[in-house]
Amino acid sequence: MSSLEKELKERAECLFQQKQLGKVVHDYRAKEKATRQLTFKLRVEHLAREAVRAKPATFAENQKSKAPAATLAVDGTF
């Protein structure tokens, strides 16, 4: 094998390794992005559930603090 052939073979191997490394890095970044998106989605859902659970308690507390409203009887009198 001549020195030129050896050099070409080494360059080809180096390029192949760089492509493989590029694929690995790309896959890692894609998985990392998917994980961040899923985490964001789950956090939003968690916060929404907390907000729904907190609303009735807050509403009930607000109703307790207000003066009782006058009720209208069936015949239209108070």
Asked if residue 52 has pLDDT above 90, the reply is no
Asked if residue 13 has pLDDT above 70, the reply is yes
Domain assignment present for residue 4? The answer is no
Mean pLDDT, residues 27-49: 96
Asked if residue 68 has pLDDT above 60, the reply is no
Identify whether the C-beta of residue 55 lies closer than 8 Å to the C-beta of residue 49. Answer: no
Domain span at 39: 24-51
Domain count for the chain = 1
Domain assignment present for residue 6? The answer is no
pTM: 0.52
Domain assignment present for residue 17? The answer is no
Domain assignment present for residue 45? The answer is yes
